[in-house]
Structure 1
Amino acid sequence: MYKITLFLECGSAKPCCLNCFCVCRGGKEFLSFDLDTVFDVNSMVAEVLFAILREEVKYVHTDADLLAMERTARGKKDMVLCYVQSLGTQEHRSIMETAYVYGSKHQFILITGGPVLKQLGANESSLSSRVWFLHCRIPGGFSTPTASERCPVTRMRRALSTLNLHSFLQLMEAPLVLEVDVDPSSVPPPQFPYQLTPQVFLFSRPATEHLDRDAAGALAWRLRGVALLLLVHRQSPAVKTPEEFNVAYRRPEKSSEVKYLTLHSLDEVSEIFLDQDKEEEEEEEEEEEEDESQFGKLNDEVAASVFENTGNLMDLDSITQLTSENFHSEVAQSSLTVVLFYLKWDAVSMAFLSSFIEVAEKLEESKVDDVLMSVVDCGEWTDLCAAQPSALVPFQPITEFPRVVLLRPQESPQYYESMLGSEALHRFIILSRTAAPVRLSTQEEVTSFLQEVPHGSQAGDRPDRVLGLFRSPTDASAFVEAAMSLRGEVLSGLLMDGPAEKWAAAHALHLPAVLAFPSWRTPAHPSALPAASSSAAELLSQVRLAMLHPMPELTVDNLPSFLSLGKALLLLFVGEEEDEIGQRQNQELVEEMRRAVELGGARMERYLACWIHLGSTPAGMSVLGSYLGYMPPLPALVLTHLPNREEVYQYPADNVVAAPSVLQWLQRIEDGAELPAGMLGADSWPPSAAFYDLLKVMEEAQEPESMQQPTPADEEELEEEEDLHVEEALVAEKVTDGSPEPNPSVHSEL
């Protein structure tokens, strides 16, 4: 486990690295960088990984160095040669993140120009980054394109990014030539991760099989990284292609249709794909240059978002700017005031401010006129943000930014704790406009409550609902308290007395009763929750649990809710589909997992079966890589987050995901017959130094001299401190001449 530390000052007699960025391992300094080399998030991640992956990523200066590495790797391991203009960039980070996953499989090499680039025939001035794959572990069965001592090279033709590099390496692992005995039209389109890769079909006859195989191998090397090549044996009765055609191809990104051609040379075949690929590559490079000219070296995502909008003055017409003078009057006049407390110099605040304005404009467009959207600049109105709670200022002092608070006259403040995005905030505000709970008195009102969508909701948005049935207000007190805590998350309704008894009798219920209506389930089949002796906290927990999907899709937004259950995750990773076939396959996998939950019955209650779509949640790719240490083929099923255990288990990749097989696999894990495929890392990084209150020191330094008259005891202490400082200065002077090991004593965690 590594720890990252930023050294700020040194009170030790030994010299320390001042203004440096250090990587520590086992409590000892492992490596340090000057702060000039870690100027943003990308450079920080890239440099740390570069330091850790010393064996996996080598830096070469000359072509002779590269040739020596090729000779060493010949027959053992393929190599990935990566060029970046400078270290610490987004491209450098993408390379290091990929090396972290694939470093045990391939040898990575990093260059920043020089003779190696010239030997590869690349122009340094026209490139920002590039990747080559060196096939040093030559596959058998097909001849190599050259008899040279150098390893055959395949260039990655797409722009350098983590996702493109991952796809490229997956493509390099595909067979050079695949031989089939069926007609090209019967060959299924390529599956993940090759689903967008064209397929080229050549035909072979028994009399010329050896020559056909050589031709297929030669063409496959030309199209390596561009298309998958298949050799079709005509002697098979399943091949129906007319004799006049000798080439066929399919472009899955456009259509699943197979096109047939009659060509006279391999050059004609390669031109079809290489010319179009060159055009796409030029378009990507133009887009990349456009992005670079726009953002320069600004790589931090949040800061880049702010920088992008620096020249665009935000339209504040849809929101009210609150100050210490107008805050109380504005809040008193509105039934619901949504306040964003922010800082102008905070990148996250400014990024969220644009989302906040977007929500205000949506509310205005949908004619929601009972909500006042407002902001407070806490950098200017510090007295308002730091005020202690009172009748005029009902909220706690604002200490974290950005912060959204919902205020209503004569009510306690409501705090927004969800994702900092426009969709989540908009939904929270719309649901918060409704009373919690809504008092219902007739059958018609109950029906309306369960079916109607709140005014201003987004299209297709169905909220979760909960309905309480009680005989008296006293019985309903715990439900009312829980409903207030759920405001903004769930719509709550309350039916009491005679109407409650009638409604309960019509639906075969006994009072008191609490019914949960999750958005993913039809209103005709609610979940009944125990309400007789439940406290508000218990009821709150039960409602939230009832709203969770039994086979949920995990996202960044809902992951904390599911992790809080404390169950082991039976997690299915599926790839991004580009057509109806892929969508259907993913749906079938999810249905098979749901069937496993049903077949398992009570024994499956300890697990949370769930899935991640890597297209809609790209962060899942990093999660999967961190679980196993490499990127497995998809779909991938893992068991992780076992209570009090760190093991990660992977379902056998060569087994079909079927409900009975999954249950047998889980039983083998419970019996201890399965070996873990990975381990969860320990995330406990306690601070190694006490908190240093810098603001308090600044305040003391700014106090008037009249308030700082020293007492005799203070003067004596001051003299001792001065002597100590002089002594430290003399020691530091002596240390400068030598070079003992740095041992900083005062630092803060970064």
Structure 2
Amino acid sequence: MPQNSLNTQLTIFSRKCNQERCILYTLENKVNCTNEHIEKYCTGEKLMKKVYLFRGGNVLKSFDTDTVFDVNAIVSHVLFTVLFDEVRYVHTIAELQSVERAAKGKADIVLGHVQVLGLPEHRALMETAFVYGVKYQFVLTTGGPVLTNMGVEDISSLTAGLWFLHCKGASQSQHSDPCPHTALRRALTTLHIYTFLQLMEAPLVVRSQSEASVEPSEVNMVHSHLQVPLLFLFSQPHTVALDRVTAQTLAWRLRGQVGLVLIHRESPDVKIPLEYNAAYRLPGEGSEVKYLILNNLEEVIDLFRDESTPEEEEDDDNWATLGDAVSMAFMQSYIEVSESLEDADVSDVELAVLDCGEWTDVCSAQKISFFPTVRLYRPQEPSQPYQGMLGTESLNRFIMLSRLVSPVLLSSPDEVTSFLKGDLYQRHAAIAPVTVLGLFSSTADAGVSVFKEAAKALRGETMVGLFADRQAEIWAVEYSVTLPAILVSRGPTGQTEAHSLNLSMPDQLVTHIQRALLDTFPELTVENLPLYLELKKQLLVLFVGEEERGRKENRVLEDMRSLLNTGLINPYLPCWIHLGRTPAGKAVLEAYLGFLPLLPALVVSQLATGGEVFHYPTGRPLMVQPILQWLQRVEDGEEPPTGVIVDEKWMPSMPFYDFLSVMDQEVPGYASQRSAKTKTSRIERAEGEKSSSGERQARAGAHNPQGSPTTKPPQTPHHHSEL
């Protein structure tokens, strides 16, 4: 690039070119014509104004510096030049028809329109052509009569567009007929184009031998993965031919927007009410199937026209922006984990980052549907998804524990004892204080294979050991259980619990072990809250403050632990929240009661019924017998409620902030609120970092407290909304 002195345009270009090199893997070179005069390039009219693209010593093309003004312009122009022979440029209808005639019966055509070269839309089209140029014939136009031919009414208002011309299936005998086409009805981005091309490859109608013979809720197609609605038409035996024609007609009109499935009503596996002839399911895991009666095709078109509004398109873009923001925020944690592994001399783990905007084919093959996604890959094994919190500590813990074989095969009683005490893996004892040991009488036990599968699924969550030997009976006798069983060890200073096993499925065993890992008197945090809400028990929550330190805090907590030994609080889950470590607890407490009581404060929250909140009277001693007496009065209805949880479903402030839906895409039903009575913990809304598993109905119970001199409690139950 000729250069004589500092120039603003060249400085900008040079900076952007450095970014472009990371994308296109090109080399940049500058020539200072003052020091090294090259006659061919250092002439007056070219000096400071030209940028040259070389390949193998030959100039492919020169650009004016004002046309390569940013990264998008540089990438799009370079790719357009490199793909000059592959991407056809057309301006007239005749030129497009010529390309169509040559492609009929051979390849489909992707026609892209951009008003100006060098914009992000141009780059998206060129990047797609670079990846899929062998599969499709790419054509570019910048406007004119070609757009009118594609059905665009207002040419001036269309800044960018894309059409898929279905020429591969067209016959050469249809020489003069244009190829049928489908328009992309979303913004021209790399991700949208990729999704669109995947939809164009999908079957027009699920029919023939693959015609659905199952319930609509059980149909799984590529459209679901690509976040596209599904339309179901129900076929009658005596109208099957007409039904197929109807489905074909509808599918062409809705192609790229809706997937269409023809379901045989007479199939024994299909139980659809006779009064309905159609149904549809919107994108998203857990989305309900809605049944309806359609009288004509236009009703169907109008239905999905209403469902696909401009606001939704705007939300999609917002989601992309939000996803990028979350990914960028998580990247800092990812870097910190990398540094932590390096400091710990961990050499058997490599961290990598993949931009799905650039590597769409790879992300599609891996079925990546939300961002950021973290997966662990091992040779000759399926990938393992990380489903924890997007923080440094959680991810680092997952990686360190994932390095261990799961389950750890133990061969002697000494190894079992060492494993339970944490001596066998001292390095990991701090990050996994709770370990699980499976006990079987023999390796031939049918449950061993089930346990091994469950242990693989728990890899990264905790350390799991396996001892399959006749000597396992020693621990079975000691802990009064029958084999097979599991021992849950809470470290050298904690207790060891025993649980018999009678589960035959790995997923059931995983759930059983995860629940066994839960503490009997846990400190509630944002991370572990959903796990404890899964128990659907009444919460007996002790709120302690930062001032509750040393002996006083320990004494109160020990008194609460003593409640467990009575065996009289089985309907409750005793737990505690430290307002210093979990600041959201303060907002929770105030929302429950309508005021901030003196600490420590004891509250009963009955999640199964009622919606009432009760507060243990301030000033009464937090000791076993007074607490048991108070709980009995609450159960007998002798204590008035302090607060009432309003039966209200919590919705996101904006559709594109619906974090629960995003979580449900990964684990169906994990965070969905399925009915109007749904409630989850107030802690979730206050902290906003984790949502509960599934749907919660809330109830609560506590005494109307005796107010302190500085805080006057309400005289009537305080009403508030609960997530």
TM-score (normalizing by structure 2): 0.43
